[in-house]
Amino acid sequence: MNNVRDKKRANKSLPFFFRTEFKVFFIIVLVSSILLISTFSFDTVPPILNRGIQPATFPKGLLVLIIALTSIIYYLSFKKPWKKEKNLPRPFFLTILSFIIFIIISKTLDFFLAISVLSIFVSYNWGERRIFHLLLVSIIFPLAVFIFFEMILGLRFPPGIITNLYYY
Amino acid sequence: MENLLLMMAPLFSSKLLLVLLFGTLFGLVLGVLPGLGPTTGGALILPFTMTLDPLSAIILLTSIYCAGTYGGAITAVLINTPGTPAAAATCLDGYPLAQKGEAGRALGMATVSSTVGGIFSVIVLVFFAPILANLAYEFGQPEYFALAIFGLTMLASIGDGSPIKNLIAGAFGILISTVGKDFMTSIDRFTYGINELSIGIGFIPVVVGLFAISEMLTQSTLLDQVFKRVALKAVKLPTKDDYKKTWKTILRSSGIGSFIGVLPAEGGTVASLIGYSEAKRFSKNPEEFGKGSVEGIAGAEAANNAATGGAMVPTLALGIPGSATTAVILTGLIIHGVRPGPDLFKEQPEFLYGIFGAMLVANILFFIFGFFGAKIFARITLVPNKILWPMIFAVSVCGTYSLSQSIIDVWIMLFFGVLGFFMRRYGFSVVPVIIGLILGELVEGTLRQSIVIFDGNWLMFLTRPIALTFFILSLIALAFPLIRSKKNKKII
């Protein structure tokens, strides 16, 4: 109980722009505002053809609602600060990095190579060291998935350096 | 009588029976694994259902739903970690009882009460879904708009987490549904010149991202977590004394669970918490709760499984999902070209009663599998996360890609995975996003068509009694957290 109170206090003692509540409020309001501004560039229907409301009106209303509700939770957080979250561990960032690597490899080299690389990267960084298990997640399982989707479901995967060996 | 025969159809078709068996087993495996569950599992398997006919596909999804909801209890009892959020209340008494060396008794009670709750809710479904569907004939565009708003406000008020954050998440879900060509005027919205976005953002990439990928990221932060397992010899049927103690609790929780399930909100989780607290309130021995009370296990488990049938009532009768998993089932119905609503009851009774029958059989099947196989299913929790999650990633990626064969969908999935992780980290439930995404087109479409009908006069909404009733209920739903917060100070 005391720990939770200490964490809350720690969060409250930070300058406002470092506090979680402000960061969340700022990001939501910023993104919503950008989207709201972009709705003004949507095409409009000429009044003679328009029945009901313009296509941009509904998303505009939603974005205003999101900004208003976010402002309310930020205001309420002055009375009741959020508890400070634990710092994210290294494997989390490595997993995010693996997603980026996945996107790059799947775009430039091969879809299945990307899955294999991500699998071995994640498994290794999450602590797996046994060779057979690493081979299982990076080669045997993706291969089984490929065979299942390709042969049973008849799906055609995007071309790439490995997939082309099968297709051509 | 004719309907009863239609309900028996899955039993007389070897293909449907096979689908049911697979769905039940798969649902149990998903339920047992913490972090997965029927919603994520349903989303993962959704692309595969495209190879099945609509009835088989929905039977597969509903059997996963029923068995997955029960499966969470096995992990809750044996490792004090709910396999699904709906089994959280089961931990409170299941694990303490297992620690006393009575894991078999705890699982036996969970299995029996889940089965009774599940069967009770199917009976509710069979009787109430057609009544609700008949009522829906009275609904026009304004009524559907008001109903959808009621669904979203209910989610905010009794769903998990903060009501305001739930509303933001729900509004965000509706906003996602506006991406692409406007369905009334074909004008592009939020596409920014990307052709792939003009058809909108698919449901599967969002669901798989928000549930499976965000859970993978959550698991990456919990690698140092160690589970303490309690040994299980065999599942034991409850004794006569246990039945005497719990039959009223099981029936009460079955009723509560079915009712909560019918409300458009987070069915099983809320139902099990209310079922548990009501079991404690009515118990002659409330002091035993939290220390291994069989009444506590029965109260929570009967309620969460009863919510499965309840949640299917608005899903099938109105097309409004009663829970996150029924949102996935609703998507399954839509991608298979089945439009839920009153016409479905009139035009395809064999389809609906086939689903009802399948849910009934699934409840019996998970009783058998749970009773004889809980020990084996418990071993699944031994699969290390460092092996399991890369495999789930491979299936998620291929499943998401397979639906439209678009690599953009895979990137959207990853984006929503990261977004979902941060949403959960800062207390925003991802369930309202899914429900908002599903209801988005209905909300916008019915609003705009209503405005056309009313010739731009918004006040005309108040002249429609059913719509007005739903608006008043929505206001009550919004006010409810404020009243509740005065008791426990939880608005944010």
pLDDT tens digit sequence for B229-273: 666 677 788 888 988 989 999 999 999 999 888 877 557 788 888
Q: Where are the alpha helices (DSSP H) in B283-404?
A: 294-318, 324-335, 342-347, 349-379, 385-404
Note the pLDDT tens digit of each residue in B70-79. 998 888 888 7
Indicate if A25 and A55 belong to the same structural domain. Answer: yes
Mutation choice for A interface testing from B182, B186, B400 by most A CBs within 10 A: B182
Residue A145 lies in a domain: yes
- Count each helix (H run) and each strand (E run) in chain A, helices first: 8, 0
Q: Between B59 and B342, where is the model more confident? A: B59
Q: How far is CA B204 from CA B42, B209, B215, B399, in A?
A: 10, 8, 16, 9
Q: pTM here?
A: 0.84
Indicate if A7 and A45 belong to the same structural domain. Answer: yes
Cα B354–Cα B358–Cα B362 angle in degrees, nearest 5: 175
Residues whose CB falls within 8 Å of the CB of residue B15, separated by 6 or more in sequence, listed in order: B56
Indicate if A119 and A141 belong to the same structural domain. Answer: yes
Q: Which of B432, B420, B55 is nearest to B205 (CA)?
A: B420
Note the pLDDT tens digit of each residue in B6-47. 777 767 788 889 999 999 999 998 888 877 788 888 888 888
Which domain covers residue A136, as residue numbers? 90-167
Residue A133 identity: H
Q: Which of A64, A47, A44 is nearest to A55 (CA)?
A: A44
User: Hunting for tokens 């918004």 — which residue is that?
Assistant: B458
Domain boundary among A79, A104, A133: A79
Indicate if A95 and A163 belong to the same structural domain. Answer: yes
Residue A134 lies in a domain: yes
Average pLDDT over residues A3-8: 50
Q: Which helix (DSSP H) or strand (DSSP E) does residue A90 occupy? A: helix A90-108
Interface check for B398 against chain A (CB to CB < 8 A): the answer is: yes
ipTM: 0.88
Burial of residue B169, with CB atoms counted within 10 A of its CB: 0-12 exposed, 13-18 middle, 19 or more buried: buried
User: Hunting for tokens 């698991």 — which residue is that?
Assistant: B219
Indicate if A35 and A72 belong to the same structural domain. Answer: yes
Residue A43 lies in a domain: yes
Interface check for B165 against chain A (CB to CB < 8 A): the answer is: yes
Indicate if A163 and A98 belong to the same structural domain. Answer: yes
Residues of chain B numbered 199-218 and touching chain A (CB < 8 Å)? 216-217
Q: What is the pLDDT of residue A1?
A: 43
Residue A84 lies in a domain: no
Residue A85 lies in a domain: no
Number of domains making up chain A? 2
Dihedral sign from CA coordinates of A11, A13, A14, A20: positive
**Tokens describing residue B388:** 């399991």
Whether A52 sits inside 8 A of B184 (CB atoms) is yes
Mutation choice for A interface testing from B174, B208, B225, B393 by most A CBs within 10 A: B393
Note the pLDDT tens digit of each residue in A27-49. 999 999 999 999 998 888 877 66
Set of chain A residues whose Cβ sits within 8 Å of the Cβ of B491: 76
